[in-house]
Amino acid sequence: MAAYWIVWVPLLPFLTGLLIGVLHFGQWLDGERHEKITARMSVWSMAVSTLLVLSYLIADLSGMQVDAQVYGSWLSNSRFSIDFSLQSSGFNLAVASVFALLLLIVMRFSVNYLHREAGFHRFFFMLNGFAAAMLLLVLSGNALFTFVGWEVAGVCSYGLIAYAYDRPVAAHNATRVFVTNRIGDGGFIVGIALALLWLDSADWHVINTSVTELDRGDATLLALCFSLAAFAKSAQIPFTPWLARAMEGPTPSSAIFYGGVMTHAGVFLVIQLQPLFTQTPVVMLLLALVGAITAIYSYWIGLSQTDIKSSQIFAASTQLGVMFLECGLGFWTLAFWHLCAHVVMRCYLLLTAPSILHVTHTQPIKPVPERWARCHSAFVVSLQRGWLEQALDWLVVKPVQRLSKDMCTIDQRIIDPLLGSPAPAIKAVASLAQREEQKMGANLHSDEDSFAQGSGLAGKLAQWSAALMSWFEYHFILRGLGKNSIQLGRQLGHAANRFEQLLLSPRYLVLFVIITLMVALGYAA
The binding site for another protein (CB under 8 A) comprises 25-28, 422-424, 428-432, 435, 447-448, 451-452, 462, 465-467, 469-470, 473, 477-478, 481-483, 485-486, 489
Shortest distance, CB of residue 486 to another protein, whole angstroms?
6
Shortest distance, CB of residue 126 to another protein, whole angstroms?
17
Shortest distance, CB of residue 249 to another protein, whole angstroms?
22
Closer CB to another protein, residue 66 or residue 430?
Answer: 430
Shortest distance, CB of residue 437 to another protein, whole angstroms?
12
Closer CB to another protein, residue 212 or residue 434?
Answer: 434
DSSP state of 211: G
Closer CB to another protein, residue 485 or residue 516?
Answer: 485
Shortest distance, CB of residue 450 to another protein, whole angstroms?
10
Closer CB to another protein, residue 311 or residue 421?
Answer: 421
Closer CB to another protein, residue 26 or residue 441?
Answer: 26
Closer CB to another protein, residue 370 or residue 448?
Answer: 448
Q: Which of 248, 227, 257 is nearest to 324 (CA)?
A: 227
Q: How many CB atoms lie within 10 A of CB 249?
A: 25
Question: Residue 8, class by beta-carbon neighbours within 10 Å (0-12 exposed, 13-18 middle, 19+ buried)?
Answer: middle
Shortest distance, CB of residue 161 to another protein, whole angstroms?
21
Shortest distance, CB of residue 481 to another protein, whole angstroms?
5
Angle CA 119–121–126, to nearest 5: 90
Instruction: Using CA atoms of 490, 496, 501, 504 in order, give the dihedral in degrees to the nearest 10.
Output: -150
How far apart CA 219 and CA 217 sit, in angstroms, is 5
Residue count (the chain): 525
Q: How many helices and strands (H and E) does the chain possess?
A: 27, 2
Question: Residue 400, class by beta-carbon neighbours within 10 Å (0-12 exposed, 13-18 middle, 19+ buried)?
Answer: exposed
Q: Which of 364, 282, 285 is nearest to 327 (CA)?
A: 285
b/e for 94-132, b at 16 or more Cβ within 10 A? Answer: bbbbbbbbbbbbbbbbbbebbeebebbbbbbbbbbbbbb
Closer CB to another protein, residue 356 or residue 477?
Answer: 477
Shortest distance, CB of residue 173 to another protein, whole angstroms?
23
- Is the four-CA dihedral 150, 152, 157, 158 of positive or negative sign? positive
Closer CB to another protein, residue 22 or residue 396?
Answer: 22
Closer CB to another protein, residue 433 or residue 521?
Answer: 433
Shortest distance, CB of residue 46 to another protein, whole angstroms?
27
Q: Rounded to the nearest 5°, which phi and psi values hold at 224?
A: -60, -45
Q: Rounded to the nearest 5°, which phi and psi values hold at 453?
A: -120, 145
* 389, 238 contact by CB (below 8 A): no
Angle CA 349–351–356, to nearest 5: 60
